[in-house]
Amino acid sequence: MYSQILVPLDGSRFAESALPVTLGLSRRTGARIHLVTVQEPIPSFAYDEWESAATEWSDRYLQNVVERMGDLAGGEVTTHLRSGHVVEALEDEAETRKADLVVMATHGRGLLSRAWLGSVAASFIHHTQRPVLLVRPATDPPSSFAPDRTFSRILIPLDGSKLSESVLDRAVELGTLFGATYHLLRVVPYPMDLSSSYLPHTVQVNQQVVNEARESAEQYLEEHAARLRGNGHTVTVAARVVPQPGHGIVSEAESEGCDFIAMATHGRTGLTRAFLGSTADKVLRAAHVPLLIYRPGL
């Protein structure tokens, strides 16, 4: 169960969109909330008083957030001001506070720095091995921090690997706090590398391959669903044939009425990025519901 929750803030209302769900979790678990903002390196041409002014503003801002939170948290609320490279500073702060969950908005625009939460969120999940709950801000973020979100149906994409399955326990742990049901999904890619789909024989072969893959995927999902059902959870499963896994996951969440997505990622970048890494990136950019990302140690 969560006991230490880290929330990065950049001074914007968009970044504060992470607070209502954080407070809801804290009230259900008694978790301490650690608010942190990062002051990036001062340009060499900046005037001498800039750094002290920035530090003073950040301290006032964090204290103002605490005051606006009032008594809505279920545990102690602390504030921390760091300096340096944003992602490295956040990783170090998460380690220092022993955070078992990081909750952050997917973008924001701070007054003391460049718009960093969007790129920070993407970079952070590629480095940290801590679960990260990403919240997409509304066009007009609410001014109140009152907990206003519950999760009733959680989508968990699996690809048949142990890595993808590593998020199951964490998704269930969070879902149990809200009495949520679970929907397990496996995306079956269409075999685009086979011969021309215009040839009758190829069409038949392709369909046979797809049917076999879908049946195997459904059996795989039912095995995991049976374990969860045995623990008293309500679980449905679906194997979908779509060309793009990321699009399939987002579409499934919408069609099934899921208000939360939980998935694992390799967290790799560049040419070494694997299926789950690139898929998580696409879901992060397209999904309009909160997303729990977990990158286990490999």
pLDDT tens, 173-206? 999 999 999 999 999 877 655 545 555 555 555 6
Of the listed ranges 67-71, 111-115, 234-238, the one predicted with least confidence: 111-115
Taking the C-alpha atoms of residue 60 and residue 66, their distance in angstroms, rounded to an integer, is 10
96 and 159 together in one domain: no
Classify 83 as helix, strand or coil.
strand
89 and 161 together in one domain: no
The stretch 193-221 carries a mean pLDDT of 73
List pLDDT tens digits, range 82-137: 988 889 999 999 999 999 999 998 864 444 344 445 567 878 887 788 999 999 88
In a domain, 143, yes or no: no
Of the listed ranges 6-15, 25-34, 216-225, 260-269, the one predicted with least confidence: 260-269
Whether the CB-CB separation of 120 and 8 falls below 8 Å is answered with yes
Single out the residue in 83, 100, 135 at which a domain terminates: 135
Vertex 198: Cα angle to 197 and 202 (nearest 5): 50
Structurally, how many domains does the chain consist of?
2
253 and 180 together in one domain: yes
More confident residue, 143 or 200: 143
CATH number, domain containing residue 34: 3.40.50.620
116 and 210 together in one domain: no
- Name the residue range of residue 64's domain: 4-135
List pLDDT tens digits, range 1-26: 899 999 999 888 888 999 999 999 99
Single out the residue in 109, 135, 161 at which a domain terminates: 135
Q: Which candidate, 137, 132, 139, 171, places its Cα nearest to that of 154?
A: 171
Taking the C-alpha atoms of residue 283 and residue 246, their distance in angstroms, rounded to an integer, is 5
Taking the C-alpha atoms of residue 178 and residue 199, their distance in angstroms, rounded to an integer, is 51
Residue that has been written with the tokens 């001014």 in this structure: 143
Q: Which candidate, 187, 243, 190, 257, places its Cα nearest to that of 218?
A: 187
Q: Which candidate, 189, 275, 193, places its Cα nearest to that of 240?
A: 189
Taking the C-alpha atoms of residue 34 and residue 19, their distance in angstroms, rounded to an integer, is 11
In a domain, 194, yes or no: yes
In a domain, 297, yes or no: no
Residue that has been written with the tokens 């997505």 in this structure: 261
pLDDT at 222: 98
258 and 190 together in one domain: yes
In a domain, 34, yes or no: yes
Single out the residue in 102, 135, 168 at which a domain terminates: 135
15 and 126 together in one domain: yes
63 and 171 together in one domain: no
In a domain, 295, yes or no: no
* 282 confidence band (pLDDT: 50, 70, 90): confident
Token digits of residue 45: 């041409």
In a domain, 65, yes or no: yes
165 and 270 together in one domain: yes
161 and 286 together in one domain: yes
* pLDDT exceeds 50 at position 240: yes
109 and 225 together in one domain: no
Whether the CB-CB separation of 295 and 125 falls below 8 Å is answered with yes
In a domain, 285, yes or no: yes
Distances (CA, A) of 189 to 158, 174, 209: 13, 29, 11
In a domain, 145, yes or no: no
pLDDT at 43: 63
Classify 70 as helix, strand or coil.
coil
* pLDDT exceeds 60 at position 269: no
68 and 94 together in one domain: yes
76 and 184 together in one domain: no
